[in-house]
Structure 1
Amino acid sequence: MNLFEKMQARAAEGRPIRVGMIGAGKFGTMFLAQALRLKGIHIAGIVDLKPETARSNMAYVGWPDESFSARDLDMAVRSGTTCVSDDWETLIAHPGIEIIIECTGNPMAAVSHCLRAFDHGKHVINVTVEADAFAGPGLGARARSAGVIYSMAYGDQPALACDLVDWARACGFNVVAAGRGHKWLPHYRRSTPDTVWDFWGLTREQAERGRLNPKMFNAFLDGSKPAIESAAIANCCGLDAPAGGLAFPPGGIDDVPNLMRPASEGGVLERKGMVEVASCLTADGLPIPHDIRKGVWVCFEGDTEYLRNCFEEYKVVTDESGRYMCNYKRWHLIGLELGISVASVGLRGEPTGVATEFRADVVSVAKRTLCKGEVLDGEGGYTVSGGLRPADVSVREGYLPLGLAHDVRLVNDVGEGEPVRWRDVVIDTNSDAYRLRRNIEAGLVQSTAA
């Protein structure tokens, strides 16, 4: 509860937390909008494939031109300004940088960036949750081996949900389920970047004004991002994925205690200890009041008569039995909240969520009938969406993780709604991401056999 005070102290001492950021898209730009207000944080370097876009976004959110005019990182560190370039390797290697923020949104690149940062003794805050979904346990293990911190990004829903789970457990409650909200109807699974704004609730003009990426936002709409973020929550909090994928039960905040309890007690869960996503729409597409679409929740139980009496005495909303209740954060503010992660890692030496187990995975599911020779275009695109599955099932069945379904060519036909398997694609086996993922799978197989 004193991160701001600690940041102020670092600023007063003249040694702010020095950060390098890779990727200056929507998330990164939102953090940039707040970073100038946080005197205990110095963004010394920003790398983007298009440096001119990064500079444009910095100016767009109020950065004076002179604040990002440093010709190199040495000058940036000396003067407290920012160097903008396209050279991520130099950024990661620079001794003045303490923390690397990875926010490219490219999972293949993100894995390489994280691994190189660990090699150089840098902490990493990984905004690219797509990489965390298929490689988070491996990235966390590699960071620990290197003696550095790997963290999910506060502001994104997984870290916020993990925070709520930690709160519940630190209070002594048994966590029954955790997750996020979403706007969901089954036909959204087939949405493409051409249809996303019609379903999302924005006009094309609003989307262009906000410089919003239709493919990225479509990854939310088509169920890929909810699956990705649910996997991240499960692997961080030791929760399980539903065997058949997310059910997206419709309900508002006050419905969560009834929904997110075991099916044997009237809910939708296979058992206690699961991840799930609540939809803000009824099956007929009508909006549900007081929804949790943009937020996160944790459902926990009063497993003694005394706790249930306390729930009743303090007039909290529970399920109809009085046993289950939830806590929630109704909104998440994306990059506007990232300063919490930077401060937590830089000042406390604590991640804001990190995968410690491989319990859930996101597999590539065909949006339509796919033909041999087609090239998969990853989450949010025209070919596949993400489906949440238990990790042991995914590995046993040979499913292709969604995070690796980018620019890979099919060698077999795949029917609509069917998972894509490793055997169905030709893939670069020399990439950091492929090797790390295969190591994670081998570790799961060995642990299961033992």
Structure 2
Amino acid sequence: MNLYTMLQRRQSEGRPIRVGLIGAGKFGSMFLAQARVIPGMHLLAIADLSPERARTALKTTGWDVDAVVTGSFQDALSTGRTCITDTVDDLIRADGLDVVIDATGHPTAGLEHALLAAEQGRHMVMVNVEADVLAGARLAAQFRKAGLVYSMAYGDQPALICEMIDWARTCGFRVVAAGKGTKYLPGYHASTPDTVWQHYGLTPEEAEKGGMNPQMFNSFLDGTKSGIEMAAVSNAAGLTAPRDGLLFPPAGVHDLPKVLKPRDQGGVLEQTGMVEVVSSEERDGRHVFGDLRWGVYVTFEAMDESGAGADYVRRCFREYQVVTDPSFRYATLFRPTHLIGLELPVSVANAALRGEPTGTSEAFNADVVSVAKRGLDAGEMLDGEGGYTVWGRLMRARDSLEKGGLPIGLAHGVKLTRAVAEGEVVTWADVEVPDGRAVRIRREMEESLYDKQQSCSLTPVRASQWRSN
């Protein structure tokens, strides 16, 4: 509760946290809007492939663009100004840098940025959930070994969900389910960048005027982003992924504890302790009353399931008007909104001042695999998250590895070697996989974690069987 006091102290001592931001898109711009006014925090540099876009982001968020320096990190360090560069490696290596933020959304690039940050002794805030799900446990282990922080991004839903899970467990409750809300209908899995705006009630012209990227927004709609975010929560907090993928049950906030409990208790869950996403739309397209489309939740119960202790806790739920199911056994707390990059300074401050992450990958529990949106022919090129060819389905990691599922984070720019039917999981064996560091890191994570735990055979595709161009 004292982060702001610690920031003020760093400001008075002339030792601000020096931050490097990679990516000046929407998330990065939201961080820029806040970083300018926070004591004890110095935005040392921004790296973007388009320096002009970085300048525009600064101007839009209230910065004095005339005070920005170009390419000179030393000048920025000595004067307290901000440097713009198009070279990420130079930013990460800049003298005096404390924390790196990756807000690119590019999974393989995110892995490279994280590895260099660990090598250079920088804490890492990984906004790039795609990179985290691809190999987050492997990255987190490397940062821990170096005595550094590898963190989820506060303000994004996974970190907020992990905070709620931690709150419940610290209070002595058993976590039954945790997750978020979204706009979902089964037909959205087939959505493409050409059809996405009709589902949002926008014209392509309106979306373009608002600077909206159709492929990115399509990943929100087709279920991929939900799968990625729930995999991140599963890997960070130890909750289980649904065996057959997310169910997306329609539910308003007052029905959350009725729906998000085990099936044998009248809910939809396979078991206690799972991630799940609720839909803001009924299956017939009607809007759900009291929806949680922008929010997050945790459903919990008393640790002592029976006896006087459980009765007392349930009575407290009633007395303090917690949202419960009719039995008062299951209760839910929810947060209706999240502020994305506006809240990101919390992660930066936690990493630099407390040496703590706001959520981090602890294990490889869940994965997101590529599923064909339509019948795909041999020779076609996959176009990754939110595109025309595949969407990402949440899977338990063990099931993904046994099937040899191709991670959605590696499904961009790879060629199919055989036809894949609509709705079928694309596997490693179905594509020509270029031999790169991201692929090697991912395969090392699969083998090291599951060989150690002796909980899964990797016979579908072992490292010796990788295909390369």
TM-score for the superposition, normalised by structure 2: 0.94
Please give the alpha-carbon distance, in whole angstroms, between the structure 2 residues aligned to 1:325 and 1:251.
14
CA contact (8 A) 2:44 2:82 kept: yes
CA contact (8 A) 2:323 2:333 kept: no
Root mean square deviation, CA, Å: 1.2
Please give the alpha-carbon distance, in whole angstroms, between the structure 1 residues aligned to 2:9 and 2:79.
19
1:393 maps to which of 390, 393, 399: 399
1:432 Cα deviation (Å)?
Answer: 2.2
1:444 Cα deviation (Å)?
Answer: 3.4
Please give the alpha-carbon distance, in whole angstroms, between the structure 1 residues aligned to 2:69 and 2:162.
38
Is residue 354 of structure 2 the alignment partner of residue 348 of structure 1? yes
1:203 Cα deviation (Å)?
Answer: 4.2
The number of residues matched between the two structures is 449
1:424 Cα deviation (Å)?
Answer: 0.5
Is residue 441 of structure 2 the alignment partner of residue 436 of structure 1? yes
Question: What residue is the counterpart of 2:23 in the other structure?
Answer: 23
Q: Which consecutive unaligned segments of at least 5 residues does structure 1 have? A: none
CA contact (8 A) 2:252 2:288 kept: yes
| Residues 394-413 of structure 1 mapped to structure 2, 5 A cutoff | 394-413=400-419
Q: Deviations over 1:388-413 (max 9, x none)?
A: 00000001110000011111111111
Q: Deviations over 1:34-54 (max 9, x none)?
A: 111112211111111111111
1:66 Cα deviation (Å)?
Answer: 2.3
Partner letter of residue 114 of structure 1?
A: A
CA contact (8 A) 2:9 2:40 kept: yes
1:204 Cα deviation (Å)?
Answer: 3.6
Question: What residue is the counterpart of 1:445 in the other structure?
Answer: 450
Partner letter of residue 403 of structure 1?
A: G
Please give the alpha-carbon distance, in whole angstroms, between the structure 1 residues aligned to 2:432 and 2:180.
34
Summarize the Cα distance change of 1:180–1:90 in structure 2 as closer, same or farther, 3 Å threshold: same
| Residues 153-172 of structure 1 mapped to structure 2, 5 A cutoff | 153-172=153-172
Question: What residue is the counterpart of 1:290 in the other structure?
Answer: 290
Partner letter of residue 443 of structure 1?
A: S
1:133 Cα deviation (Å)?
Answer: 1.2
1:337 maps to which of 322, 328, 343: 343
1:351 Cα deviation (Å)?
Answer: 0.3
Question: What residue is the counterpart of 2:242 in the other structure?
Answer: 242
Question: What residue is the counterpart of 1:310 in the other structure?
Answer: 316
Between 438-447 and 398-407, the greater mean CA deviation after superposition: 438-447
Q: Deviations over 1:239-294 (max 9, x none)?
A: 01000000000011111101110001110100001000000111111111221111
SS at match of 1:387: strand
Please give the alpha-carbon distance, in whole angstroms, between the structure 1 residues aligned to 2:25 and 2:33.
12
Question: What residue is the counterpart of 1:51 in the other structure?
Answer: 51
Is residue 68 of structure 2 the alignment partner of residue 68 of structure 1? yes
CA contact (8 A) 1:26 1:212 kept: no
Partner letter of residue 314 of structure 1?
A: Y
Partner letter of residue 30 of structure 1?
A: M
Q: Deviations over 1:416-444 (max 9, x none)?
A: 11110000111122x22111110111123
CA contact (8 A) 1:26 1:211 kept: no
SS at match of 2:323: coil
Question: What residue is the counterpart of 1:84 in the other structure?
Answer: 84
Partner letter of residue 42 of structure 2?
A: H
Q: Deviations over 1:203-246 (max 9, x none)?
A: 44543343221111111100000000000000100001000000
2:365 maps to which of 344, 359, 370: 359
Please give the alpha-carbon distance, in whole angstroms, between the structure 2 residues aligned to 1:416 and 1:444.
31
Please give the alpha-carbon distance, in whole angstroms, between the structure 2 residues aligned to 1:210 and 1:436.
37
Q: Deviations over 1:20-78 (max 9, x none)?
A: 11111111011111111112211111111111111112112221122323541000011
Please give the alpha-carbon distance, in whole angstroms, between the structure 1 residues aligned to 2:138 and 2:17.
26
2:333 maps to which of 305, 327, 341: 327
TM-score for the superposition, normalised by structure 1: 0.98
Taking every aligned residue pair, what percent have the same amino acid on both sides? 53
